[in-house]
Structure 1
Amino acid sequence: MVTTSADNNNEATTQTTSNPKYDRQIELKAFDETKAGVKGLVDSGITEIPRIFHRPNDHHYEDSSQVSSTTASVPVIDLQGVVNGDKAKREEIIKRVGEASESWGFFQIINHGIPDRVLEEIKDGVRGFYEQDVEVKKEYYTRDISKPFVYNSNFDLYVSPCVNWRDSFMSSVAPDPPSPQDLPPVCRDILFEYSKQMMKLGIVLLELLSEALGLDPNHLSSIGCAEGLYILGHYYPPCPQPELTMGTTKHSDNDFITLLLQDHIGGLQILNHNKWIDVPPLPGALVINIGDILQIQKC
């Protein structure tokens, strides 16, 4: 799963959704029908963000006990021993993966075997898609998740309390990969290459997680956990009023495992022991997120 993220976690300072003249559903529909996303708003030169993006001041989005922390850091695990076939180092890596998964639910990996060239090209491909002409992008804009390539702004646009300052695309690339003509030319080749790299690395991670759980290395793969792969590409344009909104609100991933590639901007935070922890981007690193399904599987 790929994202290029720059989240903003400042508290909203204004509440305007109680205005009786404000019809939220009409504004949501008008925004959706432009098919231009948040990037379209920025390109139009707005200086004030629409009210649908204002983040409510309530406990669901802000908790005074959940203060930002800079004293802790997400574990960074070097996979060089696994890539090189070093059995002694592999045992240590398995132990660290297990500890990080249980105590954090997150860890970063380095020396994972994916060439830096591929990581840079996928970031360029994601950015290239969003920065192309809006009329080209509109051809892919849809809320039909059965499509091979889905581009829109906020998958939960009509049900979320506030809209995230973010555009996204999604493609299911396994077990049934899309046809080349179904993917945008600007990022087609790198999406296929990146998908292959992610599948290979995903199987390695499932082996490590299986062993960390005291199971056979092939256990998670043998029960179908390695069969599906979705790729997501997020885009967070500059915001004229960042104090009023967020790029991505508090959530958990409803998948098995997420492999997240950050860009250089950063902004990602995770909640650990009731504290928000920054996850600064490391060159060549991937952030691993234990998803909801894997947590259920462990139970």
Structure 2
Amino acid sequence: MAVVDCELEKELKQFDETKAGVKGLVDAGVTKLPRMFRHPPETLPSPNQNNGLDSNLQVPVIDLKDVDICDRRKEIINDLRKAAEEWGFFQIVNHGIPIAVMDEVLKGVRGFHELPQEAKEEWYSRDFKKKVNFFSNGELKVSTPADWRDTLSCKVLEDECNFEAIPEVCREQIREYMKYIVKVQEKLSKLFSEALGLDSDYLENLRCFKSRSLACHYYPVCPDPHLTLGGTRHSDLGFLTLLLQDSSGLQVLHDNVWIDVPPVEGALLTNLADMLQIVTNGKFKSVEHRVLMPATLEPRTSIACFVGTDDLQKPYGPIKELISEDNPAIYKEVLFGEYMNRYKL
């Protein structure tokens, strides 16, 4: 029979009831990491582990400049195919989003998280069906250490009406940023289709890249960064994630080695998610990643745009054109909505 840690359960409940998140702890002057955020040593980087710092390996950077010129497009598609097969992660530059727009949306999201508690607690909710909610950790359980992170979640952003529910301090910055994200998403849909040897509109017709939601993360300065994580190791569950980050901390697991993924000026980080691995029958990879808490004097902000289908009841399995006698299907069909219900965002 499992023994319930009543003191830890009480700590979790009290933390959630403040509606202030991790930032609230920092504002209250916490000087020691609360027990609920302490991760077991085996999940943390060891002191003598290089964590990718001394490695020659780095996530590929793909330049989308002149993507509509025939020979250049072939080169880009080859680079994208290789990155998708070997890494599941890559940075894209010359994607069409102005740096000023990227800077402003990061500034706006940070502005929300740094509002006084009473100005943002109205958005605090664990009702993940809401179009907009503010929370700390998708689940707070005694059995799972919490991550040192707060999140503003903005869902179903293909519907213009939903922008009005976003806090005013970052609403227009997010609206402007998403105008450009739509174009990047459409561009990548074509490039991924062609990289699979399919017609450029194939993934568009499957409605793989039709929905857009944001997880706007904030990682406050931590008193004991070596004892916790900003994000536990995981892979993403949708089709694609486009990430904007303002500082280091993110790592990707590549060939069983954790590789640092520092921000690149003007770049958008692209990572493939589980559903894209399923429909490509494992040709493209969805890989695990995590966020460390570096010992810094500045908080970290990141904005993850999760791209998926707008049909939650649509079954997805390996694309029939990619299946053959020599390459049989290794995944069963799955309903997108059921798969996504495993993850609270």
- Per the shorter chain, which TM-score range? 0.7 to 0.9
Q: Which residue of 1 aligns with 2:278?
A: 296
Write the distance in 2 (CA, Å) between the matches of 1:20 and 1:109. Answer: 47
User: Please, which moves more after superposition, 168-177 or 46-55?
Assistant: 168-177
Q: Which residue of 1 aligns with 2:136?
A: 153
Q: CA deviation at 1:71?
A: 1.7
Q: Distance between the aligned counterparts of 1:144 and 1:178, measured in 2?
A: 19
2:241 counterpart residue number: 258
1:91 alignment partner, one of 58, 70, 74: 74
Tell me, in whole angstroms, the C-alpha distance in 2 between the residues paired with 1:50 and 1:131. 21
Alpha-carbon separation, structure 2, partners of 1:158 and 1:194 = 34
Tell me what 1:112 maps to. 95
Structure 1 unaligned blocks of 5 or more: 1-18
Tell me how far 1:178 sits from its aligned partner. 3.8
TM-score, normalisation: structure 1: 0.88
> In the alignment, what sits opposite 1:141?
124
Equivalent residues in 2 for 1:163-178 (5 A)? 163-178=146-161
Structure 1 vs Structure 2: percent identity of aligned residues?
A: 47
What is the Cα deviation at residue 81 of structure 1?
A: 1.8
| Partners of 2:36 and 2:172 in 1: CA distance | 36
User: Aligned AA for 2:60?
Assistant: P
Scaled by the length of structure 2, the TM-score of the pair is: 0.76
CA deviations 1:221-270 (Å, max 9, x no partner) are: 1111121001111000000111111111111111100000110x211110
Q: 1:48 aligns with which of 7, 25, 32?
A: 32
Counterpart secondary structure, 2:127: coil
> Structure 1's 93 and 180: CA in aligned 2 closer, same or farther, altered over 3 A?
closer
Counterpart position of 2:59 = 74
Which secondary structure does the structure 2 equivalent of 1:190 belong to?
helix
Query: Is the contact between residue 9 and residue 142 of structure 2 (CA under 8 Å) also seen in structure 1?
Result: no
Q: Map of 1:119-268 to 2, 5 A cutoff?
A: 119-158=102-141, 161-263=144-246, 265-268=247-250
Per-residue CA deviations over 1:163-214 (Å, capped at 9, x if unaligned) read: 0000001111334344443110100111111112111101111111111011
Q: Which moved more, 1:270-279 or 1:153-162?
A: 153-162
For the residues of structure 2 that align with 1:259 and 1:168, how far apart are their CA atoms? 16
Q: Which has the higher strand share?
A: 2
Which string of whole-angstrom CA distances, capped at 9 and with x for unpartnered residues, describes residues 75-101 of structure 1?
00000021xx21110110001000000
**Aligned counterpart, 1:24:** 8
Question: What residue in structure 1 maps to residue 251 of structure 2?
Answer: 269
The answer to whether the Cα contact below 8 Å between 1:74 and 1:104 also exists between their aligned partners in 2 is: yes
* Structure 2 residue aligned with 1:38: 22
- Give the conservation status (yes or no) of the 8 Å contact 1:61–1:250: no
1:135-157 Cα deviation digits (max 9, x unpaired)? 01101000111212111000122
| DSSP 3-state at the match of 1:80 | coil
The structure showing larger relative contact order (alpha-carbon pairs under 8 Å, at least 6 residues apart) is 1
How far the C-alpha of 1:67 sits from its partner, in A, is 5.8
Distance 1:43 1:224, change over 3 A: same
Question: 1:133: Cα distance to partner?
Answer: 1.5
- Residue 4 of structure 1: aligned partner: none
Q: Which has the higher mean CA deviation after the structures are superposed, 143-152 or 159-168?
A: 159-168
| Shift, 1:23, TM fit | 2.1
Contact 1:195 1:231 in 2 (8 A): no
Distance 1:21 1:181, change over 3 A: closer
When residues 231 and 221 of structure 1 are mapped into structure 2, their CA distance, relative to the original with a 3 A threshold, is: same
Alpha carbons 1:210, 1:216 under 8 Å: kept: yes
Shift of 1:61: 5.5
Change (3 A) 1:242 1:95: same
Structure 2 alignment gaps of length 5 or more: 282-345
